[in-house]
């Protein structure tokens, strides 16, 4: 028995697995290219990159992918959203994913380029609006997900409602780390899944080694919610920074680069995400989904993809029996 393929617009991946675009600088060409080569959809996180950096990462990912599907994820909230999307489209990216806000314009940009546009949604209303504007699929991200959250509902509660609300492939995201989790999402009506945290703790992830080790060692109580200056709650691993934020001891912004369209100015999230990626776990913000507490190793992408397929097969055949 084979896993179903995932078709979004004019692109098809051999496996129904999208690797989440984790910023800043966690999901770069090494990770995205390796996932695409292994049969999934590899995604470069464009938020926080300079346009020329994004172009270079896309080219490197394509070399690694050997014909696999490579996408880009760019937050609508970043000030250079339009510029980054256009760079990705000019580089011939296979699909564009956007979350942390909603942009009507991006649907037309992608339509003009013949590129599938996939928004991250947290409600039936936004999913239906996305379909009206020309989305090729939607990603339903539940409250279990890492990073910025657009809902307080569980993915498996949202998923069936959104499947009923739109005539598009619906991708389930949040809380998925095993092949059995993938089966659960597909059985609930998803055409595929998006997995972030599980891929953050792989050899090819661009996170620092101590960042990955923190994922492997964390417990459920170590994963907390913070208030992000983006204007959305964020899910992260407990650290000195999250403790300070919870106590109202907000770090001073040393140099504002005006990276967001709207910023609460509570602290500089770009600075804290960059510090975490580089391994400064005292001053950095370590985004992670609730399922990070179930991660216990740091495999290569190829090893992980093989494992996910095997776990899905066992769960599927067991269910059939």
- CATH number of 136's domain: 3.20.20.70
Residue 197 shares a structural domain with residue 220: no
Residue 234 shares a structural domain with residue 111: no
Q: How far is Cα 99 from Cα 75, in angstroms, rounded to an integer?
A: 5
Answer whether residue 135 is part of any domain: yes
At 250, the pLDDT band (50, 70, 90 cuts) reads confident
Residue 274 shares a structural domain with residue 285: yes
Note down the domain range covering 146: 13-206+299-320
Q: How far is Cα 264 from Cα 261, in angstroms, rounded to an integer?
A: 10
Residue 143 shares a structural domain with residue 164: yes
Question: What's the number of domains the chain is made of?
Answer: 2
- For every residue of the chain, which 3-state class applies, written as one string? CCCCCEEECCEEECCCEEECCCCCCCCCHHHHHHHHHCCCEEEEECCCCCHHHHHHHHHHHHHHHCCCEEEEEEECCECCHHHHHHHHHHCCCCEEEEECCCCCHHHHHHHHHCCCEEEEECCHHHHHHHHHHCCCCEEEECCCCCEECCCCCCHHHHHHHHHHHCCCCEEEECCCCCHHHHHHHHHCCCCEEEECHHHHCCCCCCCCHHHHHHHHHCCHHHEEEEECCCCCEEEEECCHHHHHHHCCCCCCCCCCCCCECCCCCCCCHHHHHHHHHCCCCCCCCCECCHHHHHCCCCCCHHHHHHHHHHHHHHHHHHHHC
Among 163, 150, 171, 134, smallest CA distance to 76 is for: 150
Residue 87 shares a structural domain with residue 224: no
The whole-number pLDDT of residue 258 equals: 61
Q: How far is Cα 312 from Cα 3, in angstroms, rounded to an integer?
A: 8
Residue 75 shares a structural domain with residue 162: yes
- What does the mean pLDDT of the chain come to? 92
Report angle CA 73, 125, 229 to the nearest 5 degrees. 50
Residue 23 shares a structural domain with residue 170: yes
Residue 63 shares a structural domain with residue 133: yes
- Let me know: does 260 contact 189? Beta carbons within 8 Å: no
At 256, the pLDDT band (50, 70, 90 cuts) reads confident
Answer whether residue 8 is part of any domain: no
Structure-block tokens of residue 212: 């990955």
The whole-number pLDDT of residue 257 equals: 67
* Cβ within 8 Å of residue 192, ≥6 positions away: 6, 13, 16, 17, 18, 169, 171, 172, 186
Q: How far is Cα 28 from Cα 11, in angstroms, rounded to an integer?
A: 20
Residue 184 shares a structural domain with residue 216: no
The model's pTM: 0.93
Residue 176 shares a structural domain with residue 63: yes
The whole-number pLDDT of residue 1 equals: 79
Class of residue 85 by CB neighbours under 10 A (exposed 0-12, middle 13-18, buried 19+): buried
Range 97-105 average pLDDT: 90
Answer whether residue 3 is part of any domain: no
Answer whether residue 139 is part of any domain: yes
Residue 148 shares a structural domain with residue 284: no
The whole-number pLDDT of residue 148 equals: 81
At 99, the pLDDT band (50, 70, 90 cuts) reads confident
Answer whether residue 316 is part of any domain: yes
Residue 150 shares a structural domain with residue 51: yes
At 321, the pLDDT band (50, 70, 90 cuts) reads very low
């Amino acid at each position: 028995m084979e896993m179903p393929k995932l078709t979004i617009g004019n692109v098809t991946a051999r496996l129904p697995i999208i690797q989440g675009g984790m910023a800043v600088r966690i999901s770069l060409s090494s990770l995205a290219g390796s996932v695409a080569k292994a049969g999934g959809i590899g995604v470069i996180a464009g938020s926080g990159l300079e346009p020329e950096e994004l172009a270079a990462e896309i080219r490197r990912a394509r070399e690694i992918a050997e014909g696999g599907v490579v996408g880009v994820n760019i937050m609508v909230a970043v000030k250079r959203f339009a510029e980054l999307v256009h760079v990705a489209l000019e580089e011939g990216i296979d699909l564009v994913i956007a979350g942390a806000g909603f942009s009507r314009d991006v649907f037309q940009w992608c339509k003009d380029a013949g590129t599938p546009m996939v928004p991250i949604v947290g409600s039936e209303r936004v999913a239906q609006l996305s379909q009206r504007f020309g989305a090729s699929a939607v990603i339903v991200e539940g409250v279990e997900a890492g990073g910025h959250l657009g809902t307080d509902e569980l993915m498996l509660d949202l998923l069936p409602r959104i499947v009923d609300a739109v005539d598009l492939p619906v991708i389930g995201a949040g809380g998925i780390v095993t092949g059995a989790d993938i089966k659960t999402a597909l059985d609930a009506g998803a055409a595929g899944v998006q997995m972030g945290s599980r891929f953050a703790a792989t050899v090819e992830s661009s996170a620092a080694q101590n960042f990955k080790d923190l994922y492997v060692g964390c417990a459920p109580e170590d994963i907390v919610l913070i208030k992000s200056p983006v204007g959305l709650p964020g899910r992260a691993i407990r650290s000195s920074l999250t403790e300070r934020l919870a106590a109202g001891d907000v770090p001073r912004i040393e140099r504002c680069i005006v990276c967001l369209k709207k910023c609460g100015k509570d602290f500089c999230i770009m600075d804290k995400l960059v510090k975490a990626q580089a391994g400064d776990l005292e001053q950095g913000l370590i985004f992670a989904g609730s399922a990070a507490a179930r991660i216990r190793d740091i495999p290569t992408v190829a090893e992980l993809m093989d494992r996910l397929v095997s776990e899905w097969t066992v769960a599927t055949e067991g269910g059939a029996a």
